[in-house]
Amino acid sequence: MFKCKVTQKKIKPFMSFGSMPLANGFLKKSQFKKEFFYKMEVGFNEDLSLFQLAEQPEAKLMFNKDYPFFTSSSNFMINHFRLFSKWLKKNNYLKNNYNLIEIGSNDGTFLNNFKNTSINFFGIEPSKNMSDLSNKKKIPALNFFFNFENVKNLKKSIGKTNLITAANVICHVQDLNSLILGIDLLLNKKGIFIFEEPYLGSMYSKVSYDQIYDEHVFMFSAHSVKKIFNIYGFDLINVIPQVTHGGSMRYVIGRANEHKITKNVEKILQYEKKNKIDSFEGCLNFKKKCLESKFLLKEKINRMKSMDKKIVGYGATSKSTTILNYCGINSKHINCIFDTTKEKVGKFTPGTHIPIVNMKDFNKYNKDYVYLFAWNHKDEIFRKEKKFKKDGGKWFSHVKL
């Protein structure tokens, strides 16, 4: 197990989710006996207002050659990154001939928007299957973890990079110190770092505790991001809320005193203070709400089962691993989970061993209730699956749909 380096000593643990497998550890029957579990516990660093896992499994266990998350599996995300690339230009964060690096470029969905433009770009992606796929699509991607030691070798980019971006990546990075030193090394004087991540404020308001899993070591807020980057001589210069991943925040970072700080920053800091997102008190409120949510979900599912209702799941998401294991929901409750990802179909959910089946059979399958695990994609999914509701079927989830 890796002890989170940033401020390990100062974390105040406040809640355990019990024994947990890897969120993306979808497995075959033959692997059941050797499954990896760890104790999933969260804590708060009061100095940095930082919500984080108390301990995290080794990165190489999680982001390996079989990493099953493809950004391009969601049309919504493809569109989001298209709009993001336009937004960068509109706001002058990206200009002609700029040097751009994406950290955690996955299958190249974002960088694809810069093909045939004057932007000099490449991605850095630690999962080999993803960097291979990206390179096959002629979107250059280097295969390593972004950290100070590794980026020291990128001689041509040191001090010459105008923009570094990352989406749903930084909350995965255990050693923030090394990451920020790497960014500092690459960016030029006016260089900008923009990243977006699931937002702690959204997790609190939705009680979407399924955002917490092994890969998400941090749940950021404007307070924590500002405090962390200030330590390294950077300012938080802009923040823009996003609807992605059930509520995210885009953070814009620049070297201290090099950029004007937008009014959005003060506005969001005030909001966080008012809603106790910056303090330990917020954690304790959240814990109470998680316990209530678990109780209500189990009660709902037990009631459905006592009436002999057939329940299936929609989207074998990484997030579902937290809900299923924390609430003790397994194949006795949920017959199967439908998913479009071929790498998951035919396998079983981590820890709870619910079979994952091909989405193409969703309409044929006889069912009364569908647990929407991919609740953050609900608009896209409800548009696709109108027939189920029309035929009298019901969707449900642990968050409000």
Q: Which residues bind ligand TMP (CB under 6 A)?
A: 69, 73-74, 315-319, 339-341, 344, 359, 374, 377, 380-381
Tell me the C-alpha distance between 368 and 360, whole Å. 18
Q: Are 246 and 206 in contact (CB under 8 A)?
A: yes
Shortest spacing between CB 171 and ligand TMP, in angstroms: 13
Query: What are the C-alpha distances in Å from 339 to residues 32, 94, 313?
Result: 20, 36, 9
Joined tokens for residue 294: 């678990």
Tell me the C-alpha distance between 337 and 350, whole Å. 12
CA angle 135, 140, 144 (to 5 degrees): 90
Shortest spacing between CB 55 and ligand TMP, in angstroms: 21
CB closer to ligand TMP, 253 vs 324: 324
Shortest spacing between CB 26 and ligand TMP, in angstroms: 9
CB closer to ligand TMP, 239 vs 327: 327
CB closer to ligand TMP, 157 vs 352: 352
CB closer to ligand TMP, 235 vs 385: 385
Q: Are 171 and 218 in contact (CB under 8 A)?
A: yes
Shortest spacing between CB 18 and ligand TMP, in angstroms: 20
Name the E strands within 59-198.
99-103, 120-124, 141-142, 161-167, 187-198
Shortest spacing between CB 372 and ligand TMP, in angstroms: 10
Shortest spacing between CB 380 and ligand TMP, in angstroms: 5
CB closer to ligand TMP, 271 vs 365: 365
CB closer to ligand TMP, 336 vs 359: 359
Shortest spacing between CB 163 and ligand TMP, in angstroms: 25
Joined tokens for residue 168: 């749903």
Reduce the DSSP state of residue 99 to 3 states and report it.
strand
CB closer to ligand TMP, 74 vs 109: 74
Tell me the C-alpha distance between 52 and 177, whole Å. 15
CB closer to ligand TMP, 237 vs 345: 345
Name the E strands within 272-399.
311-314, 337-339, 356-358, 369-372, 394-396
Beta bridge partners of 240: 250
Shortest spacing between CB 98 and ligand TMP, in angstroms: 29
CB closer to ligand TMP, 171 vs 316: 316
CB closer to ligand TMP, 157 vs 244: 244
Tell me the C-alpha distance between 354 and 324, whole Å. 10
Joined tokens for residue 189: 């004087």
Shortest spacing between CB 359 and ligand TMP, in angstroms: 5
Tell me the C-alpha distance between 71 and 80, whole Å. 11
Which pairs with CB-CB distance under 8 Å and at least 24 residues apart come from 378-387? 379/76, 380/74, 380/75, 380/76, 381/314, 381/315, 385/314, 387/363
Shortest spacing between CB 221 and ligand TMP, in angstroms: 21
Q: Are 106 and 130 in contact (CB under 8 A)?
A: yes
Per-residue HEC secondary structure of 335-357 comes to CCEEECCCCCCCCECCCCCCEEE
Tell me the C-alpha distance between 113 and 117, whole Å. 9
